[in-house]
Amino acid sequence: MASEDKRPRYKINIGNVNISNHYFGGRLRWSDPPPDELKTMEEAQARIDELYEAGVPFFSKEGIRFVYEQCQRKPRRGEMIYVKDITGALVEFECQTGDVKGEIEKDGVKLEYILLDPVISYDCRAHLKHHLWWAGIRKERPPFCSLTIQHPSLKFYTKTKEPVNPWPTQPREKVAETFQTHSQDWRETEVAKKLVQFLTTHAATHPITKIVGLALGAISYHYDTRPRCYIQHALLLTLREWLAEREKTEDVVCYAQDPGYRSVDKEVLKEHGIEVIDDPRAWLEIDDESVVYSVSPNVPVKEIVADIARPAIVIWERVGFMDGDQEGKMSCTDPSNMTKAEDTRPHLSGVFTSLGHAPFVQPSSYLRPPMASQAERPIDVEERQGLRAIRNFLKVRTTPLWDSKASKFAGLLTTSDYINVIQYYFQNPAALDQIDQFRLDSLREVEKALGVAPPETISIDPERPLYEACRRMLESRARRIPLVTNDSQTDRSHVLSVITQYRILKFVAVNVGDTQKLRRPLGELLLGTYDNIATASMDTPVIDVIHILVERSISSVPILNSEGVVYNVFEAVDVIALIRGGTYDDLGLTVGEVLKKRSPEFPGIYTCSLNDGLDTIFDTIRKSRVHRLVVVDEHFKLKGVLTLSDILHYILLEGENDEV
């Protein structure tokens, strides 16, 4: 009999354990070596300045979203996350989730850090130059990444595996009471009164739909008894109250984003109408009708905002130390040296010298210069024209489970639900005898048992633009959306129809001739998934493929031979055909045996290459019922997978900020 393992284990399941203040940078390297290699630190720093002065965006919503969606998939250790640097080169970061890093403190105490899921880090021009001065040119490290990957961590004592809690929090009641007190005190200060007066005078007509607070600090930390973070949030409340008064409504959208927030912060702020959101959602929310407010942040807020939007109002506190100097030997996380530029839109930017202790300083407008006009390739011009035509078309076109007790729409029953149920009963074979008594209202319990996120229940009124339906589908990651209308006489909802991604894209393919302008190749667009693709062989048991479908939340798995050649694609709907009639014996078959049971009318799989553009893919969608395309090389070996979600995301969001 094996001896019991008595080694200490990490004690993670403790309610008050917080993420440490130690972040670990990811391993990075060029995905493809750049053609013009820079050999000295001075050359690299000059290149950064050259790009910055030319108006090249260091940050974009598309770039942030591209990295964020990869992080959201929770890549495993060793998998790659891809980032485009400011030169346009592709850089890959190796995921280190689960790694353990050691450290010895000055008193000799040994510590260990467990690396958590990756997050995005933001580097401004000054920080990029400073890192070059500090680390020099290294062939294996790309120097131009304004977006990088880091891993937060949990901290433990090596010997006992007890957690080290770097950020103990105060009781919720105390935090709420202290915040209320400081908010009242703040409202009575001259600074607060002058701020309201200034906003009322200068921003009375600015179109404003939301307020976004960034890096205002957590108010719950036990160690910090200073009023700074409380006052910063009190100012955020002042902005919300001012806008509510101006608009004559309490329904004001007010966000706050800071990685330091804990559950206590979220609860207390929610009581005051402030919704805490996670990075990078704030950057994706900021637009021309936003108020942006930030105080001495540890991220380059002003540079990011200047690249991604032109907010109605920007308020910040001037940092107390200098930006990077000529040689890049000093670093600042949020530099104030953005070039003043003429702009026809009204902007209001405020500077505080010290919140609560000094008078309000006359606002100034600090905006990056617009992107210098550069010669575009004809293919890029046509691509942009084609995307604009599709969006304009969708914006002028209008576009289910039923809860019998409440008489309202309750969601959609999809193949994913069937797959989840099969997975559940496979893990709980003793309950299989009761499968005939399974009720649909038990689906949520199945999802909870499997650790699967429940689908978001979304719908849309048929009178709304089709473009809005598409955006909702992307935001919720749904593949279909019901059209639900409300009967004003009975006050009951009616499901009229369900539209899918395929039907939307087919509608576009048939009615928008400008899809023929989308000729940029997939390899250039980086459209689709090309890393960490789940695959199977003809001999793989079907139940193993079902496990993959559930674990990855995907609807298909490419079937390959031993040399990586694509033979077929196993789809979630193939499982439904197996269990039709209530028999489950066929789940023990191999993939090859199951695929033989397909209907003779099965159209086969659709493929494309990295050289194909969306023009040819829309031609395929126009002629055939396509749900995905397998990207292959000239030898029919698997390169990637292109889904309808990828295509819809691209035609709706690519270059959206440039159009604005």
Q: Which ranges constitute the DSSP H helices of 396-478? A: 415-427, 443-450, 466-476
Give the pLDDT confidence score for residue 244 in this predicted structure: 93
**136 vs 648: which has the higher pLDDT:** 648
**407 vs 135: which has the higher pLDDT:** 135
**Host H or E run for residue 619:** helix 614-623
Report whether pLDDT(352) > 90.
no
Give the pLDDT confidence score for residue 596 in this predicted structure: 83
Quick one: pLDDT band at residue 558, thresholds 50, 70, 90? very high
Region 469-496: what's the mean pLDDT?
A: 75
Cα–Cα dist 42/554, whole Å:
47
**103 vs 392: which has the higher pLDDT:** 103
Cα–Cα dist 508/492, whole Å:
32
Give the pLDDT confidence score for residue 453 in this predicted structure: 62
CATH 3.40.50.150 fits 401-507, yes or no: no
**338 vs 569: which has the higher pLDDT:** 569
The end-to-end CA distance of the chain, in Å, is: 70
* Residue 604 Cα distances to 369, 599, 631, angstroms: 52, 11, 15
Question: 401-507 with 520-659: one CATH topology?
Answer: yes
Which of 59, 44, 133, 145 has the alpha carbon at shortest distance from 324? 133
Q: What size, in residues, is the chain?
A: 660
**Host H or E run for residue 499:** strand 492-500
Cα-Cα-Cα-Cα dihedral sign, residues 67, 68, 71, 72: negative
Give the pLDDT confidence score for residue 119 in this predicted structure: 93
Cα–Cα dist 76/24, whole Å:
16
**Host H or E run for residue 242:** helix 228-247
Q: What is the pLDDT of residues 139-185, one digit of tens each?
A: 667 888 999 999 998 888 888 888 887 667 889 999 999 999 999 99
Cα-Cα-Cα-Cα dihedral sign, residues 260, 266, 271, 272: positive
Quick one: pLDDT band at residue 339, thresholds 50, 70, 90? very low
Quick one: pLDDT band at residue 74, thresholds 50, 70, 90? confident
pTM of the model: 0.56
Q: What is the pLDDT of residues 140-151, one digit of tens each?
A: 678 889 999 999
Region 113-142: what's the mean pLDDT?
A: 84
**Host H or E run for residue 270:** helix 263-271
- As given in the structure block, the two tokens for residue 598 are 């397909």
Give the pLDDT confidence score for residue 253 in this predicted structure: 94
Quick one: pLDDT band at residue 353, thresholds 50, 70, 90? very low
Which of 614, 607, 656, 633 has the alpha carbon at shortest distance from 522? 614
Mean per-residue pLDDT over the chain, rounded: 78
Q: What is the pLDDT of residues 210-222, one digit of tens each?
A: 999 999 989 988 6
Which residues lie across from 82 on neighbouring strands?
A: 92
Region 332-341: what's the mean pLDDT?
A: 48
Q: Where are the beta strands (DSSP E) in 530-583?
A: 556-560, 566-571
Region 50-70: what's the mean pLDDT?
A: 90
Angle at 650 between CA 648 and CA 655, to 5 degrees: 140
CATH code matching the domain that covers 172-352, chosen among 2.50.20, 3.40.50, 3.30.390, 3.30.160: 3.40.50
Tell me the three state secondary structure of residue 283: helix
Cα–Cα dist 529/533, whole Å:
7
Give the pLDDT confidence score for residue 468 in this predicted structure: 82
Report whether pLDDT(75) > 80.
yes
DSSP of 153-166, one letter per residue?
A: EEEEETTT-PBP-S
- Domain limits of the chain? 24-157, 172-352, 401-507, 520-659
Give the pLDDT confidence score for residue 177 in this predicted structure: 94
Please give the CATH architecture assigned to the domain spanning 520-659: Roll (3.10)
Residue 288 carries which side chain, given as an amino acid letter? D
Whose structure tokens read 């003779």? Answer: 600
Give the pLDDT confidence score for residue 130 in this predicted structure: 84
Q: What is the pLDDT of residues 600-640, one digit of tens each?
A: 777 788 999 999 999 999 998 888 888 899 999 988 899 99
Region 587-598: what's the mean pLDDT?
A: 83
Report whether pLDDT(12) > 90.
no
Whose structure tokens read 């805490």? Answer: 276
